[in-house]
Structures are given as C-alpha cells and as structure tokens.
Structure 1
Amino acid sequence: MKTAPAKGLVLVVEDESSIADLLRLYLSRAGYGVHVERDGARGLAQVQVLRPALIVLDVGLPTLDGIEVCRKLRAQDDWTPVIFVTARDDEVDRVIGLELGADDYVTKPFSPRELVARIGTVLRRSSGGTGSAVLETGSVRLDPASRQVTVNDRNVTLTATEFDLLAALMRRPGMVFTREQLLSTVWGAAAYGGSRTVDVHVAQVRAKLGDESPIRTHRGVGYSAGKP
C-alpha cells in the first residue's frame, strides 16, 4: 500500500523538463509528493483531481499561461496556495500575479533549495500556527486558529499571505511597520520580492475588507492597523 507523502502533494506546472525534473528531485528529497504537468490546461484539470497542498506554476506555459490558470482557479473560489515561477523579471507580471492571489513569486534562474524553503513557509502559513488569540479591530475579526476573517460577521476569503499580513498588523494595533519589517515578518528573512510586493498585498486585503479595512498608510514609512 502506497503511503501518502509526509508534507503533502505539490503540483508543479512547468514546461521546461530540466527545471521540472530538478524540482521533482528537490521536493521529493524534502518529503513532498510531486506531480508534474507540462501545460496549463492539464495543470488546471489536475488541481481538481489531485487537490494538491500547493501549486508551483510557471507563467509562460503552452495552451493556457500561468496567469490565466491562477485566474480561473480564483474565479472558482479555489484558494490552493500558488507560487509563480517566471523567466521574466517584469514588475507588471509580478503585480498581476499577486493581484490574482498568488502567495509568492520567483524569477528564473532560482535556487531549488530556496524555492523548497519558500514552499515550506507558504504551507506553514496556510495550515495555521500564528497564535490562538482572536484579534478584533473595529468590525474586522481574525481567528488565527481557524484562519478565518470576518467583517460584520461576513466571511472574507484571504490567501495565506494576505491573512498573515493582516494578522501581523492586527497583533500590534497602532504600531507602524516599515515595508522591510513586513517583508521579514510575513515573507521571511529570505524574501526578495521588494517593497512593491507589500504594497500589492495591502491593496488586495483592503479591497476584500472594503470600507472596514483597519490598515492605515503612513506615507514614507509603512503601514499600521487601527480602527476605521
């Protein structure tokens, strides 16, 4: 009888065989199950079949590009964590990916060890472990144990990264965090996405929370959480 991988299944959607094979090797060594698809349409179909813990998704894919795959997943209310991989170091691509609800973004060439570490970080965020005390600011309620956010008792769906960003701010109401502090706290010390990554995620959280968002901008400094 085949045993399930200890750390869950990672779906790798990557059309470059050398990169896909390298990721399969490193992820398997790290204790993950790995399934590889070479094009976007097949990758999208396999999400429904395999229910992976996380998707490593190349942006430049045949039949259906990675951006469109992620767009379709989110439109189906599927919030499986996604890490984008791309050969293009283009801020526009990065911003589009983050706005669609990607949890992280890496540019080729990248270190396989670094990507495995970032996968672990995203999965830890999505599975909890951020403290048990319920946080409330105004009408926004955040429950770290269930990883649920409500606004006036209405459930709001956040990605793992968006959730942890909001939690980091709400744990220290009134404290102003610089973008660098948030990158370190939420994305980890190895994060290299730049301050624009923080700005895009803040914008996404605000859009989902609406007028009740507790996030405040401090121009030239960073962000804090306070009552609206």
Structure 2
Amino acid sequence: MKVLMIEDNESVSEMMQMFFLNEKWDATFKYDGKEGLDAFLEEPEAWDMITLDLNLPTMDGVAVCREIRKTSSTVPIIMLTARDSESDQVIGLEMGADDYVTKPFSPLTLIARIKALHRRAELVEGTVSSEDGNGDFDIATDHFKMNTKTREAYLDEELIEGLTPKEFDLLYTLAKKPRQVFSREQLLEMVWDYQYFGDERTVDAHIKKLRQKIEKVGPQVIQTVWGVGYKFDDSGVDVK
C-alpha cells in the first residue's frame, strides 16, 4: 500500500513511520498542507490511502481535502482531528473524507482503520476492473437504478454524479432493502466495515452529502426516521 501522510507533527509522523514499515507499506510524509496537496497532484493515481491532519500550516486539512476531491472521488481519505473539534470532524467528512480518527490516537487504531478502508476500496476496484460494465442493474425500480459493476446510480434516468466510494456503498446498502430502517450503528458496521470505531456523526455527514448529490437530479429518496435512523424509499417519487 502507498500511503500519503500529511501531518505537521513530526513526532507523530516518526511514530507512524515505524508502524507503516512494520506493515511493509510505502509511506510518504508531508508536513505542510500545500506540500501535501502538491505531492498528491503530482501522481493522483499513485496513492492507495491519504491520512490528513486538519490543522496544517499554509493550507488547512479541509481545504486540502476539498482540492483532492476535485481530482479524485475515489482515493480513501482519513482525517486526523482533535478530540474536542466536533465541528471540524463534521466539516471534514462533508468535504469528502471517508473517516476520521481523533487525537491523541493509538497507532494500532489508525492502522486498523486504514486496513478496513483499504479493504473496501480494493473490493470496489476489483469489481470495476474485472467486469465490462455492461451487465444488468443490481437494483432497478420505476425510478431508481444502481449498477455495482460500473458504480453508477440513476434517478429517473439521470446519473447521480460524483459519488465517493462510501457514498455509493451507503446508498446501495439502503436501496437494496427499500423502506427498511437502518440505525446509524448498523450502517457503521455494514458500510464502514467496523463497529463503534467511528461514531454517528460519520453516518450523518455522509448522508448529508449524499442527499445533496441526489437532489441535483431529482426528489429525495433517503428519508430520516426520527429517533431510529434512515431508510430508502422512492415510492413517493412523481412520474416525470
């Protein structure tokens, strides 16, 4: 795995370098937001994982994440945030991060989160590269279609553009069981591939971004069930 760690605390980077070497991962370390972004842009397809601190000199992590997502919607990004910066964590997720880890953190926790996120990314890549993309839709209703081979979703024949891997997986998890209500804890376990490492804000932030992308092409099909969680329901979509 080739990891880009953008972190201005050199002691944290030095600590993680030992753990990355133990995993036999190829890690590059940048201590400035702009330098980290430039390193990514030099070879956007080269990176398997990015860990990104929020508080960086020159360019903060939110801005870096936003710029990375303009180039790649698929590279996995884990934000590193202060424990008391709840608003920063939500903003980071809304800008396109797939997950976050709060400081101070255990190196083993970060390694576990990286492995979980990388497994999901490998499954996505393997599905896309091994198929010709012309198969039938995995989900098809009168209004909504999803193809897991091409990683595309359509609402009333309009492509829902710019879905990140996590947003696609989240939408698929909900849509394959329409009108079934999923709690945030269930979605964390099913979509993020771990249980209670993250928290409910991870799910809420991704739901918010997913809804914004859906609303660009049609009516909202992800419904909130107050006090419980979320469900997919396109039964109320008006026929065009």
Q: Same fold (TM over 0.5)?
A: yes
Deviations for 1:26-55, whole angstroms, at most 9, x for unmatched residues?
223223211111101110000012331121
Alignment partner, residue 59 of structure 2:
64
Structure 1 residues 34-183: aligned runs within 5 Å: 34-51=27-44, 52-74=47-69, 76-79=70-73, 80-128=75-123, 134-151=138-155, 152-183=157-188
Structure 1 residues 146-225: aligned runs within 5 Å: 146-151=150-155, 152-210=157-215, 211-225=218-232
Question: What's the CA shift for 1:109?
Answer: 1.0
Deviations for 1:112-158, whole angstroms, at most 9, x for unmatched residues?
12211211222222333598972235533222233233332425221
For residues 165 and 34 of structure 1, do their structure 2 counterparts lie closer, same or farther at Cα, with a shift above 3 Å needed?
A: same
* RMSD between aligned residues: 2.2
**1: distance between equivalents of 2:24 and 2:158?**
39
Unmatched runs of 5 consecutive residues or more in structure 1: 1-7
**Contact kept in structure 1, 2:146 and 2:152, CA below 8 Å:** yes
**Contact kept in structure 2, 1:122 and 1:161, CA below 8 Å:** no
**Out of 23, 28, 47, which is 2:16 matched to?**
23
Identity of aligned residues (%): 39
Return 126-135 or 54-63, whichever deviates more.
126-135
**Contact kept in structure 2, 1:14 and 1:57, CA below 8 Å:** yes
Which structure 1 residue ranges, 4+ long, deviate > 4 Å from structure 2? 129-133
1:13 aligns with 2:6: yes
Alignment partner, residue 131 of structure 2:
none
Deviations for 1:30-83, whole angstroms, at most 9, x for unmatched residues?
232111111011100000123311210011111111111112222x34222211
TM-score, scaled to structure 2: 0.83
For residues 31 and 147 of structure 1, do their structure 2 counterparts lie closer, same or farther at Cα, with a shift above 3 Å needed?
A: farther
**1: distance between equivalents of 2:162 and 2:93?**
15
Question: What's the CA shift for 1:88?
Answer: 4.4
TM-score, scaled to structure 1: 0.87
Alignment partner, residue 5 of structure 1:
none
Q: Report how many aligned residue pairs link the two structures.
A: 220
Unmatched runs of 5 consecutive residues or more in structure 2: 128-134
**1: distance between equivalents of 2:141 and 2:84?**
37
**Contact kept in structure 2, 1:136 and 1:142, CA below 8 Å:** yes
**2: distance between equivalents of 1:138 and 1:94?**
37
